[in-house]
Amino acid sequence: MKSFASLILIHFFVYCDLSKFKKSTIFMSQDNKLYQKLLKQKDEISRQKKEIIESLEYARLIQTALLPQLSSIRKSLHNNFILYLPKDIISGDFYWISEQEENILFAAVDCTGHGVPGALMSILGITSLNEIVSEADNHKANRILNQLREKIMKSLHQTGRGGESKDGMDIAFCIYNRKTKELQYSGANNPLYYIRQNILYEIKPDKMPIGVSGIEEKSFKNNVVKMKKGDVLYIFTDGFPDQFGGPKEKKFKYKPFKNLLLEIHKKNMKEQKGILESSFSDWKMDFEQVDDVLVIGVRID
């Protein structure tokens, strides 16, 4: 009887073990399937990411090719720097320059959004500016912005009615006449700073974008300043002053930005660029970069 009972017990344990084994085998095979599926998905995501990055890298090449060559900028504006820090691989900010006889036309532009949408807008902006400048001969900064706005509105089918794209761009646009040293500035939301004898002067922009907005289109203002040798002018997008960081995790803001420019304006342009870059990096710390950053500085010879 005893041996019979022990036989049953043995059978019971063997059976239990066997069923456990069977269960764990089943779980293992299920886990394995899930694992395989996850691996497959991971591979797929990695492949897609790689493809996207490759596409974006290629897009960057195209965007870079559309931007003016630094050598040609140096040729037109001898003493300058361009601090260009895109947030993503491709950027919604762009700089633009063109030389027309004694006039040098240049701009710092911030398109709606960053990354791919911003970059697409920037291409529209660059080609439109090139077209406008090539078609006209008598340039006025505000009229170029007026025309640019028409092109953008037409391209994006903007009519001022509700429910349509409100995309556009902010811009600081300058025309500098090398002979007369006269500077024309016209701005859509982006100002111009120039420093003369340690004083920073600000020319405020018109509070409207290049594109449709809540108010009906009116002409941009054409501001004219007679520049003097040694004056340093700065145009920029809002990426630098709007960057979050610092000890209080706040925006950098415009006043400190002005002070920084006042501090460094006497240094050579290369040094200025370096200080701005390191100041930005120090301020940003581990925060994510909020937007594309573009600052252009030009010293009048």
Partner 1 sequence: MKLTGFRIQNFRSIIDTGWTYLSPDNITGLIGQNESGKTSILEALNSFYTGTISEDILRSDLSLPCVHCIFEIVKVDVEKELNEKILPGGVIDEIKKKEIIFLKRSWAEDITSHIELAEDEILKIYKRFYDKREKEEINIRERIEEAINEHDNAVRTAEKAFFEKEEKHQELEAAREKITQMQKKIKSIKDDKSKEVIKDNLTGAKKYLEECRNNHVAAGKDAEIKVSEARKLSENADLARKSIQAKKKFLINKKELENSYKELQKCQRIFDISYNEKERRASRTQLDSSNETYVRILREYERSKEDAIRKKMVAFKVLSGNSIDEVLNEVKKEKPHIDKYYSLEEAGRKLFNYVPEFIFFEDFLSLLPDRIDLHDIHTENTNIEGYKAARSFLLVSGLDEDFFQQTNNRILKQKIEKLNKEITINFQDYWRQSIGKHNKIKINFELEHYDNTNPDKSGLPYIEFWIKDREERLYPKQRSRGVRWFLSFYLELQAAALAKNGNDIVILIDEPGVSLHARAQEDVLKVFDNIKEKVQIIYTTHSPHLIDLNKLYRLLAVQRAVEEDELSETKIFDAKSLTTASTDTLSPIYSLMGIRLSEQKFIQKKNNIILEDITTFYYMKALTDMKSFEKQVFYLPATGVSNISSLVNMLLGWGIDFLVLTGANKEGDDLKHDLTKHLFANNEDQANKKLIQLDHFKSIEDMFSTIDFKKYILHKRIGIPESNSEYISSNNLSRSILASNFMREVKDSKLKWGDLDEETRDNFSHLFNELNKRLE
Q: Of the candidates 218, 229, 248, 255, which one interacts with partner 1 according to CB under 8 A?
A: 218
Stretch that binds partner 1, among 38-46, 58-66, 212-220, 233-241 (CB under 8 A): 212-220
Pairing of strands 244-245, 182-188: unpaired
If the CB atoms of residues 152 and 261 are measured against partner 1, the closer one turns out to be: 152
Q: Is 151 near partner 1 (CB under 8 A)?
A: yes
Q: Is 249 in the site for partner 1 (CB under 8 A)?
A: no
**Residue 227 CB neighbour total at 10 angstroms:** 18
| 184 binding partner 1? (CB under 8 A) | no
- Least distance in Å: CB of 22 to partner 1? 44
CB of 100 to partner 1, least distance (A): 17
Task: State which of residues 120, 153, 262, 275 lies at the interface with partner 1 (CB under 8 A).
Answer: 153
Shortest distance, position 242 Cβ to partner 1, whole Å: 28
Nearer of residues 89 and 153 to partner 1, judged by Cβ:
153
Residue 226 C-beta: closest distance to partner 1, Å? 20
Buried b (16+ CB within 10 A) or exposed e, 58-93: ebbeebeebbbeeeebeebbeebbbbbbbbebbbbb
Q: Rule CB under 8 A: choose which of 77, 129, 152, 175 binds partner 1.
A: 152
Residue selected from 216, 249, 286, 288 as contacting partner 1 according to rule CB under 8 A: 216
- Considering the rule CB under 8 A, would residue 206 count as an interface residue with partner 1? no
**Which of the residues 155 through 174 are near partner 1 (CB under 8 A)?**
155-161
Among 150, 182, 206, 277, binds partner 1 (CB under 8 A): 150
Determine, following the binding rule CB under 8 A, whether residue 143 of this chain makes contact with partner 1: yes
Q: What does 72-116 look like in DSSP terms, one character per residue?
A: HHHHHSSSEEEEEE-SSSS-SEEEEEEEETTEEEEEEEEESSSHH
Of 186 and 243, which has the nearer Cβ to partner 1? 186
| Nearest distance from C-beta of residue 155 to partner 1, angstroms | 7
Pick the piece of the chain touching partner 1 (CB under 8 A) from 1-9, 95-103, 141-149, 293-301. 141-149
> Which part of the chain contacts partner 1 (CB under 8 A), choosing from 50-58, 65-73, 91-99, 143-151?
143-151
**CB of 83 or CB of 156, closer to partner 1:** 156
Q: Which residues bind partner 1 (CB under 8 A)?
A: 143, 146-147, 149-161, 212, 216-219, 222
